[in-house]
Amino acid sequence: MIAKKQKSSMRYKHDYDKTLFRLTQIIAKLYNGAKLSHAELANEFGVSTKTIQRDFVKLVVLYPLYQENKLWKLKSDFEFKEHLSIEDEITLKLLSQASKSFDKTFQNRADKLLSRINENISSPIYTKIELEDISNKLTELMQIESAITTQNQIQFSYLKDDFYYDTVVEPYKIVNFDGFWYLIAKKNGNLRRYYLQQVFDIEILEDRFKKSKKIESLIQNAINIWFDEDDSFEVELLIDASVAKYFQRKPITKSQRYKDMDEEGNMTITLQVTHKNEIIPIIKYWLPNIKVLRPTELHKEIQEDVKKFLNN
């Protein structure tokens, strides 16, 4: 691949962040009773009055704003939704508005998804699932989804080590591991992972490809982003009785199998992994209540890591 210097598209996320920051600050000021002019805000944020005018074009659709003597105000009886920050509320509203620029199918899917999010926010049931915000990648998501469905290759620029690389891949899945979003693809016959926030300028190509059932199965059974297409190997773990119930409630992976339980309640399980880094972080998380029985090389590697930690 040929490295290229950073392109202007790197500004996309920064521009999005700046716009969201301005919108959040403007609404917060108005909510606290401020009366704002275009010139005042342009001076505060270091932008042109036309930029501020464009901000209000977005905001008047989302909130009950009005002008009086060329000063913007927010209706005094307006209240924000409970449990939502101003930034989160604006983001959800902008996403809803953005979906209207796409076809009806996408609009309906977006409306249903946003409706479910709003229902969960007001629900008495609380779940802590922290997913990376990729609302600035809606266009790329739609392109990738389309290419995966039709099995077309895609070309894009990938930002790595401060340089952009043009690459052509066969897209398989958009996945989320540990809260972060990735594109799983094949390039020149090899499995590749691309961090979605670093994917730019996607182009769907006419070239088609045939999906590998092995790769799709690997993705379905992966523990984390470290999964590999090489042959899997078996790991045998001894789980202390004090935490055994957690591994019974939620298996590490679909391949987890119960092997034995002694009189004290200590449990032995086996599972298949394709890369040592799929399982090492989990083992370290549960130390000292977990022990690797097989393979011995994995047990020794974790022992050495623990020794280094204690020595430091």
Give residue 48's pLDDT. Answer: 92
* CA 93 distance to own-chain centroid: 19
Q: What is d(CA 117, CA 104) in angstroms, rounded to the nearest whole number?
A: 20
Beta bridge partners of 185: 171, 192
Note the pLDDT of residue 217. Answer: 83
Neighbours of 63 (CB within 10 A): 19
Within a domain: 216: no
141 and 116 both lie in a single domain? no
Q: Quick check: is 1 in a domain?
A: no
Q: Which of 211, 241, 276 is the last residue of a domain?
A: 211
Q: Are residues 92 and 115 in the same domain?
A: yes
In tens, the pLDDT along 61-81 reads 888 899 988 899 988 887 766
- What is the predicted pLDDT for the residue at 3? 45
pTM of the model: 0.57
Question: Residue 98 and residue 175: Cα distance in Å, rounded?
Answer: 23
Structural domain for 96, as ranges: 8-122
- Domain shared by 21 and 113, yes or no: yes
| CATH code of 205's domain | 2.30.30.520
pLDDT band for 6, please (50, 70, 90 cuts): very low
Among 122, 143, 175, the domain-final residue is: 122
Residues 97 and 18 both lie in one domain? yes
Say whether pLDDT at 125 is over 60: no
Q: Verify that 83 and 22 share a domain, yes or no.
A: yes
Residue 219 lies in a domain: no
Question: 73 with 150, same domain?
Answer: no
**280 in a domain, yes or no?**
yes
Q: How many domains does the chain have?
A: 3
What CATH number does the domain containing 276 carry?
Answer: 3.30.70
* pLDDT top residue among 82 and 238: 238
Average of pLDDT values for 157-177? 92
Place of tokens 């540990």: 178
**Average pLDDT score over residue span 157-161:** 92
Pick from 22-31, 102-111, 114-123, 127-136: least confident: 114-123
Cα(35)–Cα(73) distance, rounded to whole angstroms? 5
Tell me: do 114 and 22 sit in the same domain.
Answer: yes
Same domain for 145 and 73, yes or no, is no
pLDDT tens-digit profile of 180-229? 899 999 999 889 999 999 999 999 999 999 988 888 888 888 888 888 88
DSSP 197-250: GGEEEEEEEEEE----HHHHHHHHH-SSTT--SSPPEEEEEEE-TTTHHHHHHS
Tokens of 141: 């998501």
| Residue of 6, 20, 7, 5 whose CA lies nearest to 136 | 20
Q: The domain spanning residue 14 has which CATH number?
A: 1.10.10.10
Q: Give per-residue pLDDT as tens, 216-235.
A: 888 888 888 888 887 789 99
